[in-house]
Structure 1
């Protein structure tokens, strides 16, 4: 059960941000719920889409596909190639696919005698153009098979054309490619003899150089020991010089900061990066923060107890003593921290100076060793360069000889080797089943497109509809509690019948919801009151709405009846001077009323009219007036409400709408609680937020929302989807509520 929200004088509502959050929330539409709401529209569009697909199937000309599968193997000798044979390249297959679709092949197919009488070529403007457009040649992704296919209205023509394309390709390109290998083999043998002689010469030169330079044989792994040591010293010297530069910079900066009183505190931040110092600092900071937090807690407790008991209370004095002790501890802790900081800074400066001196000594020693090793390394590098050149030359010659020898062994010594072999794996045959259109796929696609169009129309309609449509949306938009959602009264009832449905149809869903509203108001105002548990803190309850026509008067009359049925003495005031209707709802005359009391100072006791409902009196609006705002704002209305509040247990005010006139804001400022009536599926966030803000601006103390006229088929969106209001609406009837009282008349039939 929601409670009325208490107004805070220091609270300033941020209307723009709340409205933005509301619109952002609306963008996160529940797609399943939206689809369910538009289910009949989607069914219609699905049927239309399916019908359109069916009509398309009746008019489209079927086409038949024929396919031939060929395997092309290139059988060329390997010439100076390490691993990959030229015929096995993937680009070769794609090249052959383009050759199959080339103009010479297609022209040969179009000019073939057996194809001259084909219906496809007779009706085509250009046979080659038709083949280029319709012929498909694809290379398999997981194999080396080439698929040649075409799709035509005549199945026999499709099969014959595919087979003719394959035959033309074989005749044009594959059959003429023959090459001999004897000449290739002779070239390879001569090249091998020349490379072997060159290899023998290079090996002789390499052995002689190694014999003259025996020091090159002393190595660690693959590197000469002298060169390796020099590289290690150079690397160490570079790192040490970089460290020395950093250490010198740090040392100079530290000395300057230490000697300057203004910069010395910054040394503490540098020293705090040390692991041991940082740990000590964290411990001391945690202790300081703990003491400061205890002081904050004690200050909060002192302020709370002072507001309740005053400064002289024992607990306040004890807390003040404890605060003084903690402040002393905090002061001592701050002194200790400052001493610790000074010690840390001094230690840090000495450490930086020692690190700088150590790096100076280390760099001098490394420089001396580096100079000695540099001379030795220069000699070794020259010799190593010559050795590497000789070794690389000998290795390259050896590899070339091995490659030639391997290619000679693998060469096909047959007299003539076919450059390319074409194997026809599948011959194209006429198809009995059309490949296009796929009836099931077309129908499914039509149904899918129809469903998407229907859903898109529903989504667009929902996107353009800015009305409030659920309890959660209203609560999140207005940031106010929703006390109850009142369903739309079933049947065609007059305003008087709907306004007194609590007595005409006490078991109706609307009557049950009004009783739930009465309970929500009782407990909401009771919980919001600072004293007492009887809910008397909200004697004056104003019922208003953002705009006229949202049903606030009906809610006010039924709420007054519901409160009176509890045995409380209730007064219903019709303060809507411009559109008064409470006298019509209760079937009484309104020659005198609230305007008579405020303008003419007539006795309110003489103007109040007893209604047919026990314990319920009515103060009608009375004669019309030209300045309702002046009547309400003259100060007498406030005194009148105080007097009536003393006489009645509850005073319910039928207030005008908030946005059109200023009357509602005056009434809200003088009321204990305000019910803002929002019509379901009609009210907009802009109007509702504007009404809420105007009520808050005048200091409305307790504010809650009542959702009115919820359609019966949308109760689930407003919290009544589980059928808790399981009552049947009784037919409208006239009831004499008390002996001697006339029944409430049924006026012109309207829908609530």
Structure 2
């Protein structure tokens, strides 16, 4: 769906401007004329300028192009120019310029502004009055201390601060000193004098800076020369004390020795690990007693040979045992040989175990010896490295000092050359010219400013008023809800006497208003879902919104549609319907309730206590009968509800005119006896937030459908304004034969 909120807001702003265009135009015109009058009556001012060319200083120590890129270089130039401009606008510089003026020049500069007694342009009485009043009110608000009188030079410096502008010409190295003054000769004098004083000051400053820099650089070069000699002496002493003549050779020898010892230590450690593993294996086999396995593990030729002979004897014993018994000499000899071989094998095993132990001890001893030698060589290497590091530090310090010394000498030569050239980096290239025509008052600019301010006030004044005015002006400001809708917008009834407004429909006057009530009937009738009779409750947020006006005219419109209608004055606090129809308020609801024993007749039209009066054909009026604030108490009894039901059965349409719901709760009590609620909102009457709160509270408590009627809408606000100029007389005139 299209978003209409922005369109609605724009339309409301345009309507706000349209409603207040007369006052906005008067205010805008008055302010514009006052501003134009003030600007045009100001003294004439003349403007001239002097141009300075700013170059980069030749005394910069660093060569910028060699150390920065283009963007950084541009930033540097911008910063350099900004510094020059700031120096030209400092109070100390302006005071120096003021002191450079002679007495005649000071009189020329200050006379046009009345800063010299008896001099200066006359001021208008209005301007004098405004200034005097402003000073008087300021003294009342803020206690004023008597300031010491300013000297003539101080006055001149203050005036320069107000009349001088300094700026850079875009994308150039030019600086403009622009002076706006009431005297053209004074303007030219100030611009040229400021340029001259600044250039001369820079020249003096450059001379002083160069001399100071030269003295500093000479002292610095002498200090650096002494430091170089000291460093060279320290390096010589260091070499002699630590015997560093062949330091590099010593370091190479130590490094080679470290490598050899590290390789030998690694081999010794691996051999010790191998022998340790072999010794552990021999110990395990020896403890098990398996000498044959020990021979295989150690690969000893002696043991393997003894084991082979033992195996042969064992084979031989197996062969002999098949022929002879154990006591046979051959068997006995064989056994002796076996025992002898076992003894030999055991002795060989012990010898192998002892050899393995000795080899392991020797390997451990060798490894430990190599580790100690490696540690000693490493310490020697570290000592040599420390000596080399100390020497290299002195060497680097000497090189740095020498480089700085050469830079200082180069810079000193540059300062000597700059001193000989003695050219400032700021030059006056465009002296100020004598202005002929004044720059202010500028008629075109005054017109533009005045018209712009007037237009802004013309458009802004009504918009600001509309933004701070919270009173309701359209149905959109009420807020949307499912339980309410806009029924109609009744235009403002102008040219009609107040006492006749409540009978517009009856008298068939005020065609736009009459059409609005006809639209109310046409909008209500198709939406009716209950059979007659039907009760309408008419209320508003605050008094004065026209609820009685709507109730009386709506009742008259119902009778014109042939409906038997009863108009009830249920506003007991301020009854007024009887006045509209020229009746007394001596009969009605309250007298009836005070006589509860009198039964209601079958036809309430003939009930003397009610006093119903047919004020128009088909329209009866039920007055309140008195003034009372106890409507809710009466509703709590059975008499008033019974009366309302009786009246409803006797009429097709019953209209209850009730007090404002935002002030009194009476309408909320009567709402339960009504079918629909007609809620009146008058244009520019009640605050929109208060209307929203009252409607929300009313909807929450009553659960009734509410129809909103916007009353008193201007022609440009009302949705019915399209028909406002289309009366029957207009139609007859336009389309008559």
Q: TM-score range by the shorter chain?
A: 0.5 to 0.7
CA gap of 1:541–1:443, structure 2 versus 1, over 3 A, is same
Match of 2:623 in 1: 621
Can you give the 5+ residue segments of structure 1 that lack an aligned partner in the other structure?
A: 1-26, 219-371, 527-533, 732-752
Can you give the 5+ residue segments of structure 2 that lack an aligned partner in the other structure?
A: 1-8, 68-72, 117-150, 257-374, 731-737
Matched, 1:138 2:172: no
CA distance in 1, matches of 2:728, 2:658: 29
SS of residue paired to 2:684: coil
Match of 2:393 in 1: 389
Matched, 1:670 2:698: no
How many residues are paired up? 532
CA distance in 1, matches of 2:548, 2:19: 31
Match of 2:153 in 1: 128
Q: Decide which of 34, 41, 45 is 1:63's aligned counterpart.
A: 45
Match of 1:679 in 2: 682
Q: Deviations over 1:139-163 (max 9, x none)?
A: 6375544444443322123324543
Q: Deviations over 1:358-415 (max 9, x none)?
A: xxxxxxxxxxxxxx9xx99x96996896587357436524643663586588677699
Which structure has greater helix proportion? Answer: 2
Q: Deviations over 1:71-94 (max 9, x none)?
A: 355775666888799999665775
SS of residue paired to 2:432: coil
Q: Decide which of 488, 496, 502 is 1:492's aligned counterpart.
A: 496
Query: Bigger radius of gyration, 1 or 2?
Result: 2
Matched, 1:557 2:586: no
Matched, 1:153 2:178: no
Match of 1:345 in 2: none
Instruction: Answer yes or no: is the 8 Å Cα contact 2:574–2:627 preserved in 1.
Output: no
Match of 1:728 in 2: 727
Superposed, 1:594-605 pairs within 5 Å as 594=589, 598=593, 599=595, 600-603=598-601, 604-605=604-605
CA gap of 1:486–1:146, structure 2 versus 1, over 3 A, is closer
Matched, 1:475 2:479: yes
CA distance in 1, matches of 2:541, 2:89: 75
CA gap of 1:669–1:61, structure 2 versus 1, over 3 A, is same
Instruction: Answer yes or no: is the 8 Å Cα contact 2:15–2:717 preserved in 1.
Output: no
CA gap of 1:97–1:217, structure 2 versus 1, over 3 A, is farther
Matched, 1:101 2:93: yes
Superposition deviation, residue 43 in structure 1 = 2.0
Superposition deviation, residue 681 in structure 1 = 1.8
CA gap of 1:386–1:490, structure 2 versus 1, over 3 A, is same
Instruction: Answer yes or no: is the 8 Å Cα contact 2:46–2:435 preserved in 1.
Output: yes
Match of 2:518 in 1: 515
TM-score w.r.t. length of structure 2: 0.56
RMSD: 5.5
CA distance in 2, matches of 1:97, 1:465: 48
CA gap of 1:539–1:209, structure 2 versus 1, over 3 A, is farther
Q: Deviations over 1:654-679 (max 9, x none)?
A: 33444666654442232222222232
TM-score w.r.t. length of structure 1: 0.55
Instruction: Answer yes or no: is the 8 Å Cα contact 2:588–2:622 preserved in 1.
Output: yes
Match of 2:606 in 1: 606
CA distance in 2, matches of 1:439, 1:411: 55
CA gap of 1:169–1:708, structure 2 versus 1, over 3 A, is closer
CA gap of 1:703–1:462, structure 2 versus 1, over 3 A, is same
Q: Deviations over 1:627-679 (max 9, x none)?
A: 87366554233233334444544322233444666654442232222222232
Matched, 1:541 2:552: no
Superposition deviation, residue 457 in structure 1 = 6.2
Higher relative contact order (CA 8 A, sep 6+): 1
Matched, 1:38 2:20: yes
Matched, 1:174 2:177: no
Superposed, 1:367-386 pairs within 5 Å as 386=390
